[in-house]
Amino acid sequence: MNSEISVEGQLVENVLKQLEQKFSETIRPTNTVDKVSTTGMLNQINVERERESIKKDIAKALLVSNQTQRLYFVVRSMMMTILGAIITLAIFWQLGTINLTEDFVLGISTYVICLVSSRLFDKRIVNVSKKIIMHLAEHTKLRDFIVKNF
């Protein structure tokens, strides 16, 4: 598991635990006498408001987690695409032109090289991806554009 995803998962898990604790504190069994009284009704309304607030907080935490994972996937994919493009450009530069068979072999070999390099340099790729995501955190319009359109 990638360290970026595991750290994010831990953060989301901690937020959800805190929200669950807050939710369990707001749930109090009410007896039938309290339901009839005005204070019991006000307490019930407050509990319902608190529940709705907690639901919204949980939804926000899950949305942020989902967006970060999507952004991480897009950044990592772009890095592998750039690597593949560099390999292809280097081969074109050496050979000058290629035919259909060479193109087919080039496509498969470039894909395999990108997958192997992705696994071999996983830690470095995660670090670079994390830095890019942290940089994108400062540029909300660009980050939102990437998340929505890619």
Per residue in 50-101, pLDDT (tens digit) is 888 888 888 888 888 888 899 999 999 999 999 999 999 998 889 888 888 8
**Residues 9-18: tens digit of each pLDDT:** 666 677 667 7
Q: Which domain holds residue 23?
A: 3-149
pTM beyond 0.75: no
The domain total for the chain is: 1
Please report the pLDDT score of residue 147 as a whole number.
87
The amino acid that residue 98 corresponds to is: I
Give the pLDDT score at 111: 93
Structure token digits, residue 149: 């359109």
Of 79, 95, 88, 90, residue with least CA distance to 130: 79
Burial class from Cβ neighbours inside 10 Å (0-12, 13-18, 19+) for residue 100 reads: exposed
